Amino acid sequence: MSKHQIKILDGGLSTELVSLGFSLENCKLWTGKAIAERPDLLKQAHLNFIKSGAEVITTASYQLSIELIIQELNCSELQARNLIKKSVQIVREAISEANKQNILIAGSIGPYGACLCDGSEFRGDYVHNLSEEFLIEWHRPRLECLLEEKVDLIAIETFPSIKEANAVLKLISNYPEIKAWLAFSCKNENELSVGDKFSSAYPLFEKNQQLIAIGINCSLPNDITSLLESVLKDGKATKPFVVYSNDAKRWNETNSEYDGDDGKDPIQPVLENIPKWMELGATFIGGCCKISSEHLKMIKNLIENF
């Protein structure tokens, strides 16, 4: 894979916001809270990633649903919709301020489990009790808001199951002009968070013409390499991969903290695996949790010097 064919994504938006002094403790809206409370810091976080080499900036709409916004901000449905739209507007402001061209805006669509605010997106078991029709209608309002603001593509990200991914892709099929990527959260080197095999998920969606890439985010770097290898045909990816991993620390849900402080720099496994991801067919590479704008500079330099 030529470095010229790689699009560099941004990093962990929550990580960058925290580094700028924004608190996400007990925050059900996650990075969406910054849209309402500190749009200046949110814009700065996006700017930091652009300055570090990001060519795609993702909106802070990952953990936003109409119901959750109304609940947390005590606002109207119209105000909730406008908050989602503002996530796009803030990215656009950052791009303008950076005076950069050809930066794409990816509208973030997180899973239903993210808005349960209890780590469900990393288990995915909630999908067993929800119909595909319910999931389609639940995802519809946020998608509509993002499309009304004319995002360049949709980031379907941190999805723990085939079932929910299929529901959102059915919804997106109503808008044939829009492109998207699909990124799953995975719990080990074989399985999505709910237990579906990545090797089963990838071929289900590889022929979808609206998807520009399929892959993995919010997962451990060493697991990702094995996951990608599991779907190759004759040593090649039939659909480009999108990869934006966490650093090497594993989230401990019981203690609500990251494990793995073994004295090693947790960014190193990411940097060590990126050349492998490129060789396997990744064309979109960035970072997720714990990947800062400084880390993104390292990723960009690595890709450029590959």
| Per-residue pLDDT at 249 exceeds 80 | no
> pLDDT class for 260, splitting at 50, 70, 90?
low
Report the C-alpha gap between 215 and 282 in whole angstroms.
8
Report the C-alpha gap between 45 and 40 in whole angstroms.
9
Mean pLDDT along residues 53-70: 98
| Per-residue pLDDT at 255 exceeds 80 | no
Q: Which of 135-139, 197-201, 219-223, 232-236 has the lowest mean pLDDT?
A: 232-236
> pLDDT class for 194, splitting at 50, 70, 90?
very high
Report the C-alpha gap between 57 and 9 in whole angstroms.
6
Mean pLDDT along residues 247-263: 56
Residue type, 215: G
| Per-residue pLDDT at 157 exceeds 90 | yes
CB atoms within 10 A of CB 163: 17
Mean pLDDT along residues 164-168: 98
Angle (deg, nearest 10), helices 77-98 and 132-148: 50
- Whole-prediction pTM value? 0.94
Mean pLDDT along residues 251-256: 50
Output the pLDDT for position 101: 85
The pair of structure tokens assigned to 169 is 């892709």
Mean pLDDT along residues 28-45: 97
C-alpha distances in Å from residue 18, one per residue of 13, 38, 41, 300:
9, 12, 10, 22
| Per-residue pLDDT at 258 exceeds 60 | no
Mean pLDDT along residues 141-158: 98
| Per-residue pLDDT at 4 exceeds 70 | no
- Render 17-67 in DSSP notation, one character per residue: HHHTT---TT-TTTTHHHHHH-HHHHHHHHHHHHHTT-SEEE-S-TT--HH
> pLDDT class for 91, splitting at 50, 70, 90?
very high
Mean pLDDT along residues 217-234: 96
**Percent over 90 (pLDDT), the chain:** 88
Instruction: Classify 214 as helix, strand or coil.
Output: strand
| Intra-chain end-to-end CA distance of the chain, in Å | 10
Mean pLDDT along residues 262-275: 87
Output the pLDDT for position 1: 47
Output the pLDDT for position 161: 98
The model's pLDDT over 99-121, given as tens digits with 9 standing for 90+, comes to 998 999 999 999 999 999 999 99
